Structure 1
Amino acid sequence: MKKWSFICFISFFFFQSSVIAAEPVQKYTIPNSVMDISKENTYPNPTQDLPYLQPSKFAKELIKSANVKIDNPELIRLLNESSATTTPLAIGYRANIYLGQWPLNYQSTETAINWEYQKINTNFYDNRSGNAPQKISYRQETQKHIRGGLTAKIPNEEAVKKMMLLTAMKKTNLPLAFGTVIGIGTKKDRAYNVPVQKLGYLYAYAPAVNEKGKVTYGEVYVVLKGNKKRIVVKNITTQGIGAWIPVQDRVSFSYVISGSPR
Structure 2
Amino acid sequence: MAEGTKDQKEDKSDKFKIPSSVLDISKDNTYPNPTQDLPYLQPSKLAQELIDSANVEIENPDLIRILNESAISTTPLAVGYRATIFLGQWPLSYESSETSTNWEYQKINTNYFDNRGATSPNKIYYKQEMQKQVRGGLTAEIESAEEVKKMMLIEAAKRSNLPLSFKTIIGGGTKKEQMYNVPAKKLGYLYAYAPAVNEKGKVTYGEVYLVLKGSKKRIVVKNVTHQGIGAWIPIQDHISFGYLVTDTPR
* Range class of TM-score, shorter chain: over 0.9
Paired residues of 2:30 and 2:172 also in contact (CA < 8 A): yes
Structure 2 partner of 1:38: 26
User: Taking structure 1 as reference, are residues 74 and 133 closer, same or farther at Cα in structure 2, changes over 3 Å only?
Assistant: same
Asked whether 1:122 is paired with 2:118, we answer no
Asked whether 1:224 is paired with 2:212, we answer yes
* CA RMSD, 1 decimal: 1.7
Structure 2 partner of 1:54: 42
- CA deviation digits over 1:108-150, x for unaligned, max 9? 0010100000000000000000111000000000000000101
Query: How far apart are residue 172 of structure 1 and its match?
Result: 0.8
Asked whether 1:209 is paired with 2:197, we answer yes
Asked whether 1:188 is paired with 2:176, we answer yes
- CA deviation digits over 1:8-39, x for unaligned, max 9? xxxxxxxxx69x85996213121110000000
**TM-score, scaled relative to structure 1:** 0.91
Asked whether 1:139 is paired with 2:106, we answer no
Counterparts of 1:88 and 1:235, CA distance in 2: 31
Query: What one-letter code is carried by the residue in structure 1 that aligns with 2:59?
Result: D
Counterparts of 2:28 and 2:222, CA distance in 1: 51
* Secondary structure in structure 1 of the residue aligned to 2:110: strand
Counterparts of 2:65 and 2:17, CA distance in 1: 35
Structure 1 partner of 2:187: 199
Structure 2 partner of 1:100: 88
Query: How far apart are residue 52 of structure 1 and its match?
Result: 2.5
Counterparts of 1:23 and 1:207, CA distance in 2: 24
Query: What one-letter code is carried by the residue in structure 1 that aligns with 2:52?
Result: K
Asked whether 1:179 is paired with 2:167, we answer yes
User: Taking structure 1 as reference, are residues 24 and 210 closer, same or farther at Cα in structure 2, changes over 3 Å only?
Assistant: closer
Report which of the two structures shows the higher radius of gyration computed on alpha carbons.
1
Q: 82-91 or 112-121: which moved more?
A: 82-91
* Secondary structure in structure 1 of the residue aligned to 2:35: coil
User: Taking structure 1 as reference, are residues 21 and 237 closer, same or farther at Cα in structure 2, changes over 3 Å only?
Assistant: closer
Counterparts of 1:103 and 1:187, CA distance in 2: 42
From 232, 238, 250, the counterpart of 1:244: 232
**TM-score, scaled relative to structure 2:** 0.95
Structure 1: tracts of 5 or more residues without a match: 1-16
Q: Which runs of 4+ in 1 moved over 4 A?
A: 20-24
Structure 2 partner of 1:7: none
Query: What one-letter code is carried by the residue in structure 2 that aligns with 1:160?
Result: V
Counterparts of 2:8 and 2:223, CA distance in 1: 45
Query: What one-letter code is carried by the residue in structure 2 that aligns with 1:225?
Result: K
* Secondary structure in structure 1 of the residue aligned to 2:77: helix
- CA deviation digits over 1:182-235, x for unaligned, max 9? 000000011000000000000000001110000000000000001111100000
Counterparts of 2:7 and 2:166, CA distance in 1: 35
Counterparts of 1:223 and 1:87, CA distance in 2: 15
Paired residues of 2:39 and 2:150 also in contact (CA < 8 A): no
Counterparts of 2:210 and 2:220, CA distance in 1: 6
